[in-house]
Structure 1
Amino acid sequence: MKNIISTIAFLFITINLISQENNQMKLGDKIGEFSALDDQGNVWKSTSAKSDFLVVYFYPAAMTGGCTKQACAYRDDKASFDELGVTVIGISGDEVKNLKYFKDSYQLNFPLLSDNEGTISKIFGVPANKGGEITREIDGENFLLVRSITTPRWTFILNKERKVIYKNAEVNAVEDSKNVKEIIKNYSK
């Protein structure tokens, strides 16, 4: 009986991994509508982004080193992205309150979405793993920041028709914004 349960568990995990692999977005795939709660607790809908390009970047956890560097680079490049007709959104498995702390602490100027059930990561084929928690000091007070899932750092660029024109599953947090900007500039030529 124990061997049967082990075999069933192994098969379930294997099938799940295969289905995740087959669900990954490829260049040219069209992304359907999606929505999630943003850093203010409001529903953000992909249909509300009327820009020529939508940059969707997944990051592991708010208020951590690489994720902060990546978000701040997007923040610093906002004017350039606005000129190019680009909307940027960051997505993680963090709770809304974590995202609010993150946005306020670093004066981030673009929406952060809470994908705490992994719904959006599934749409994009981004693997989701077990969540986690960290403690951070914010304004002299310690806060426990909990996330339901953790995703790897992946970035997508969608064109006006919301087709994938760029996908990077090996993102360098510091260089991501700069690389994305170059891709969009070259695409627009």
Structure 2
Amino acid sequence: MKIKLALLALVLGIGMNTFSQELNVGDKAPVFKTLADDGSTWDISKHVGGNYIVVYFYPAAMTGGCTKQACAYRDLKTEIESTDAIVVGISGDNVQGLKLFKKAHDLNFPLLSDESGEIARKFGVPLRDGGTITREIDGQNYNLIRGNTASRWTFIIDKKGNIVYKNTEVDASKDTREILEFIKNNS
């Protein structure tokens, strides 16, 4: 009986560690599909090979730091694309909240919904409980619902599908410039 319990604990422990293993530079990026702000399915495997992919996790749509970070990516989209890179933002917000966030700030890149936290766990990004916030958009109040709150982390995936950059101490106001500098110096 003790051996069976020990074996069960070992199997469960390995499964839990594998599921939420933290990725590091040099690791293969996880494959994932999820819903984007427009309701379409966004599949990372359709983008690997063509461009660098900047994947940034943010806590919640329509909050101060997250809005500042998203607007910086919006404002520097042309410069980012000139480095052969695309950007996707990922949060635990539902699709409706992402759609409202994109509309309210005229964002010009995909926002991806990770309500279950599955994608964040694949990247090793710490999660906290979700929540609901109310924001006024075009004179109407909306409840923005998120299934979880991810830590603010940024990754860059190269054209071979490997993690080449990881920042776990992201400053929302400097993130875009830092990823641009990295890509320019390493491509």
Query: Under a length normalisation based on structure 1, what TM-score does the superposition of the two structures give?
Result: 0.87
What is aligned with 1:3? none
- The alpha-carbon deviation at position 81 of structure 1 amounts to 1.0
How do 1:1-80 residues align onto structure 2 when only pairs under 5 Å count? Answer: 19=17, 23-49=21-47, 50-80=49-79
Runs of 4+ that moved beyond 4 A:
none
Q: Quick one: distance in 1 between partners of 2:50 and 2:97?
A: 27
What is aligned with 2:173? 174
Q: Quick one: distance in 2 between partners of 1:130 and 1:20?
A: 21
The answer to whether the 8 Å contact 2:135/2:141 transfers is yes
C-alpha change, 1:20 and 1:61, in structure 2 (3 Å) is farther
Supply the AA of the counterpart residue of 2:164. Answer: I
- The alpha-carbon deviation at position 52 of structure 1 amounts to 2.5
What is aligned with 1:183? 182
Supply the AA of the counterpart residue of 1:88. Answer: V
Confirm or deny that 1:125 pairs with 2:124: yes
The answer to whether the 8 Å contact 1:94/1:116 transfers is yes
Q: Which runs of 5+ in 1 are unaligned?
A: 1-10
Supply the AA of the counterpart residue of 1:36. Answer: T
What is aligned with 2:135? 136
What is aligned with 1:150? 149
Q: Which runs of 5+ in 2 are unaligned?
A: 1-8
SS at match of 1:156: strand
The answer to whether the 8 Å contact 2:19/2:121 transfers is no
- The alpha-carbon deviation at position 31 of structure 1 amounts to 1.2
Q: Quick one: distance in 1 between partners of 2:72 and 2:163?
A: 22
Supply the AA of the counterpart residue of 2:33. Answer: S
SS at match of 2:169: coil
Q: Quick one: distance in 2 between partners of 1:106 and 1:181?
A: 21
Quote the RMSD (CA, aligned, Å): 1.8
Identity %: 50
The answer to whether the 8 Å contact 1:20/1:125 transfers is no
Query: Under a length normalisation based on structure 2, what TM-score does the superposition of the two structures give?
Result: 0.88
- The alpha-carbon deviation at position 20 of structure 1 amounts to 7.7
How do 1:154-165 residues align onto structure 2 when only pairs under 5 Å count? Answer: 154-165=153-164
- The alpha-carbon deviation at position 22 of structure 1 amounts to 6.8
CA deviation vs aligned residue, 1:33-60 (integer Å, no higher than 9, x gap)? 2110000111000022253300000000
What is aligned with 1:95? 94
Supply the AA of the counterpart residue of 1:87. Answer: I
SS at match of 1:174: coil
